[in-house]
Structure 1
């Protein structure tokens, strides 16, 4: 059982939904980013999504793209992202960390070396948005063998013929993208999300968390109410971008977590 599995089991026993927060590693700089990451569990975050900066983030909207560019400009690398996870683990051995990003930096490092380093640093799962199920032998299956969850995205365009393939080697949870398009581009609607979550849960025995288009505590509550949890990324990253202090960012995160946990 991974930290991710244990977290969902605990939340289910408590009758609570998960709140997942995304931040870009190294944004606006390494030290500030680490301070925010270390503060997330205390602000109510159940699972941390740690973005790996990349030069060509095709699935990300302007807010996340800009965060990646800020981090890269500050010298952020894959190694420093792993270092950040390792530093987080010095004081927290329970909160799951999911690294979210793209395959190129991992491929450049070498899959076997990356997986060993990620496991040692305390990474629990991976979301690699540009590796479809047809490429599972590249990273997904080796990651599972190394003890990391490989989390797949499902979208409004994932039809019933495609869904079993998406679910086949997925573990930890399924990340349902509530809208078509890029991050930060529209609002998630619980009425649209609910039947899709039910469809995904019927296709496999995994928790389903919903992201994209959640910007307020009220929206987090509505979406968590029809899923196993809610993910917020762009709304948090935008607070970092405008220069909020770590305490201010974490205060905002707390309101979102309270919203999701109230569902």
Structure 2
């Protein structure tokens, strides 16, 4: 059982939905980003998604693109992202961390080396948005063998013919993208999301977590009520971009987490 599996088991026992928070590693700099990451569990975050900075993040909107650019300009690397995880693990051995990003930095490092380093650092799962199921032998299968969950995205355009292929080697949870398009682009609607979550859950026992388009505690509650939890990324990254203090950022996250946990 991975930390992700254990966390969902705990949440089920407590009758709670999951709140997942995304932040970009190294944004705006290594030290302040690390401070935010370390503070997320205390703000009510159940699972941390840590963005892996990359020069061409095609699934992301301007907010997260700019976060990646700030991180890269500040000298952030894959190695420093793993160091962020190591430093976090010095004080927290329970909160799951999922690295979210693109395949190029992993490929450049070498899959075997990356997986060994990620496991050693304390990474629990991967979301690699530009590797389709047809490429599972490339990273997904080796990751599972190394003890890491490989989390796949389903979208409004993932039809019933495609869905079984998407779910085939997925583990940890399914990330349902609530809107068609890039991150931070529109608001999620529970009336549209609910039937899609039900459709996915009819084909898998995995938890289904909904992301994209969630910016307020009210929307977090609304979306979490029709799923197993929700993810907020762009809204949190936007607070960082606006130069908020660590305390202000974590206060904002706390409100979102409380919304999701009310569901």
Establish whether TM, by shorter chain, passes 0.5.
Answer: yes
> C-alpha deviations, 1:142-188, integer Å up to 9, x for none?
00000000000000000000000000000000000000000000000
**Distance in 2, Cα, partners of 1:12 & 1:224:** 13
Equivalent residues, number:
263
Counterpart position of 1:79: 79
Residue of structure 2 in register with 1:10 after alignment: 10
Correspondence list, 1:157-168, <5 A: 157-168=157-168
Partner residue of 2:110? 110
SS of the residue corresponding to residue 176 of structure 1 reads: strand
Q: Using the TM superposition, give the Cα deviation of residue 40 of structure 1 relative to its aligned residue in structure 2, in angstroms.
A: 0.1
User: What residue is the counterpart of 2:39 in the other structure?
Assistant: 39
Q: Superposed, which structure 2 residues align to 1:143-182 within 5 Å?
A: 143-182=143-182
CA drift of 1:78 comes to 0.2
Structure 1 residues 95-154: Cα deviation after superposition (integer angstroms, max 9, x where no partner): 000000000000000000000000000000000000000000000000000000000000
Q: 1:212 is matched with which residue? A: 212
Q: Which residue of 2 aligns with 1:195?
A: 195
Structure 1 runs of 4+ with >2 Å offset: none
Distance in 2 of aligned mates of 1:72 and 1:114: 19
What is the match of residue 123 of structure 1? Answer: 123
Q: CA RMSD in A?
A: 0.2
Q: Distance in 1 between matches of 2:71 and 2:251?
A: 22
Question: What TM-score, normalized by structure 1, do the two folds share?
Answer: 1.00
1:207 offset after TM fit, Å?
0.1
SS of the equivalent of 1:203 reads coil
Deviations 1:209-243 (A, max 9, x none): 00000000000000000000000000000000000
In the alignment, the residues of structure 1 paired with residue 137 and residue 126 of structure 2 have an alpha-carbon distance, to the nearest angstrom, of 14
User: What residue is the counterpart of 2:141 in the other structure?
Assistant: 141
SS, match of residue 158 in structure 2? coil
Separation in 2, partners of 1:120, 1:202:
35
User: What TM-score does the superposition give when structure 2 sets the normalisation length?
Assistant: 1.00
